[in-house]
Amino acid sequence: MRVAPTTTTMWRSPAAPACLLVAAVLLSAVAAAAGAEYVKYKDPKKPIGERVDDLLSRMTLAEKIGQMSQIERANATSAVIEKYFVGSVLSGGGSVPSEKATAKEWQQMVAKMQKAALKTRLGIPIIYGIDAVHGHNNVHNATIFPHNVGLGATRDPKLVKRIGQSTAHEARATGIPYTFAPCVAVCRDPRWGRCYESYSEDTKLVQLMTSAMVPGLQGDAPARHPKGTPFVAGEMNVAGCAKHFVGDGGTRNGINENNTVLNFHDLMRIHMPPYDDAVIKGIASVMISYSSWNGVKMHENRFLITDILKNKLKFRGFVITDWQAVDRITTPPHKHYYHSIQETIHAGIDMVMIPYDYPEFVADLTSQVSNGSIKMDRINDAVSRILRVKFAMGLFENPLPDPRLVGELGDKEHRQIAREAVRKSLVLLKNGKSGEKPVLPLSKKAGKILVAGSHAHNLGFQCGGWTVSWQGQGGNNVTAGTTILEAINAAVDKSTVIDYTEHPDKSSIAENAKEYDYAVLVVGEEPYAETEGDNLNLTIPSPGPEVIKDVCGLVKCVVVLVSGRPLVVEPYIGAMDAFVAAWLPGTEGHGVADVLFGDHGFTGKLPRTWFKSVDQLPMNFGDKHYNPLFPFGFGLTTKPSHSQS
């Protein structure tokens, strides 16, 4: 990867070296000679704590509330940013400057917003945030890595850290310094529509990956860095956001935004540890979950946000809401909005994601501070945390995008890392019928093969949700990448004939079965995100089952399942000659072919329990009644094939 100039590490001990003190005196003298006032918060040589205190002391209530406000890109005109002193802007899923916008166009948009912020009285830069949950996924031509469930299957924290670094570089290529990642949920029920955003059902595995991804995105904090103090290494790194606090992966029946019913001990044992790891690694922010814990909405849970996260875990970054979450602590949403603001701010929320309702939010919060129902100390705490992150990021010194970084988007080395991640994430669950030879690796020199299924040649399906758009989409024009069919075509011998069809005709297959050396059937789920993905039956969508039934038995078949979670496969597993869980591999389909054809061996292990029936759910490793189809951690291994016959 190309290395760009980086900022000096922004955290400093209170006792600054003598040379820095001399430099500060000289800076003050130069400013005085030029007739300009020396402003402490603009001095990068001062400790962050002093800069925060100095800037906070100069701010009006309107400027403080502006820092607490995060609005949607589409509303962030220069006039709005200047009028409301907006502190943060975000892109919601699919919110882009223009269709298929280039890195340069993204940079131009961010720069325009930033220049508006810098024109305000105090010149506090905005922090622009975006969901970069499996690569810089909102942006056309970005490298799309496997979703977290696939990364959990790799068991490779060094790889995950490199993915974090690559994602940070691609975000910076578009001028964006803040990502709503990583998701550190512990998904305990695959019926949950966000389960693919979780590394595993196992807390320790989620901790392992969290501890790798955070420094991948933000950089490695120095030794003896104070616990909880946000750390961002430089201009090639981004501020991260651990989400969604806390217990979102444990809701009843896996229903998104539902109620997590657990005693405090189990909440702390299962769902809290990854947040502690993120805090230790210097995470800049934490996003709160829409879900509830024992009937109390997380966004109004002062005990967990303030007493546990901020006080017990010593988190000193800022706490941010999810999208319009203040509205959604009531049913229907936005009912008693004035009161909802009070509840969430009192709970410990620092930055509020108010994409559209920012005028009402600003007016209501201003009123409540003015009448004393929300204390100024709480406002000052919130703003101090936000400013601390901005100073730690070096935003005041380097607020504008760096045009030299545009080439980092979709960088060839990032795609190679993604390809490696794909092949390490694949889990081989069956390889040959009982008493028969293994099927994998496949021969590259076959005479004729069949490739079939809805997911064999569909890049959008391969990437899943949170890809260019919020819910994701099908098709091969979504972004740049390689489908599994294209990868197979590139892997096999030039003389091999490939028949491809999404849904083969059974009678035709029967007539020509002897012509095929083998069939690769690629089936699975269509893209989804959040509540749209909640699924109580978890069956393979049609025509997947029909393709398996029609082909397997007639032709030696390898079934590759593209999905965000385990699905019901027991009725079909006997007919398969080989079965591979590919999860949601992203743009680099070559990684699938690398392993199918033996250039690399299968090494992935299940990050989740593979159930027999949904009636068993929720079922997790360590439960008393544990009777899976494939247990947590299962995965057959193969060695690279050195001869292709």
Give the integer Cα–Cα distance in Å for 463 and 564: 10
The pair of three-digit structure tokens given for residue 500, joined into one six-digit string: 């491809």
Phi, psi at residue 581, to the nearest 5°?
Answer: -90, 115
Specify the pairing of strand 259-260 against strand 318-320: unpaired
The catalytically annotated residue of 197, 322, 550, 588 is: 322
Distance CA 586, CA 490 (A): 18
Domain boundaries of the chain, sorted by first residue: 40-393, 414-616
pLDDT given for residue 30 in this prediction: 45
Asked whether residue 537 carries a pLDDT value surpassing 90, the answer given is yes
The stretch 5-12 carries a mean pLDDT of 36
Q: Is 322 a catalytic residue?
A: yes
Preceding amide of 504 cis, omega within 30:
no
pLDDT category at 16 given cuts 50, 70, 90 is very low
Please choose, from the candidates 239, 228, 211, 226, the residue with its C-alpha nearest in 3D space to the C-alpha of residue 310: 228
Q: Which band of pLDDT confidence, cut at 50, 70 and 90, is reported for residue 36? A: confident
Determine the topology of domain 414-616 in CATH. Answer: Rossmann fold (3.40.50)
In the set 170, 343, 525, 530, the catalytic residue is 530
pTM of the full structure: 0.94
Distance CA 598, CA 417 (A): 18
* Predicted pLDDT at 406: 98
Q: Which of 389, 394, 306 is nearest to 68 (CA)?
A: 389
596 φ/ψ angles, rounded to the nearest 5 degrees = -60, -35
Query: Is residue 432 over pLDDT 60?
Result: yes
Pick one of 3.40.50.300, 1.10.3720.10, 3.40.50.720, 3.20.20.300 as the CATH number of 40-393: 3.20.20.300
pLDDT confidence bin for 128, thresholds 50/70/90: very high
Mean pLDDT lowest for which of 25-39, 382-396, 532-546? 25-39
Instruction: Give every strand in the sheet of 88-91, ordered side by side.
Output: 178-179, 127-130, 88-91, 69-72, 352-353
- Catalytic, 397? Answer no
The per-residue pLDDT for 588 is 98
**pLDDT score of 642:** 67
Torsion region of 223: left, alpha or beta (phi above 0 gives left; psi -120 to 50 gives alpha): beta
Mean pLDDT of the chain: 94
160: nearest Cα among 172, 151, 150: 151
Cβ atoms 552, 520 nearer than 8 A: no
Q: Say if CB 528 and CB 465 are below 8 A apart.
A: yes
Beta-carbon contacts of 550 under 8 Å, excluding residues fewer than 6 positions away, are 504, 506, 509
On whether the CB atoms of residues 91 and 140 are closer than 8 A, the answer is: no
- Measured in Å, how far apart are the chain's first and last C-alpha atoms? 37
- Kindly indicate the confidence band of residue 31, based on its pLDDT and cuts at 50, 70 and 90: very low
Which residues have CB under 8 Å from 240's CB, separation 6+? 179, 181, 182, 213, 214, 217, 218, 278, 283, 284, 285
Residue 539 pLDDT exceeds 60: yes
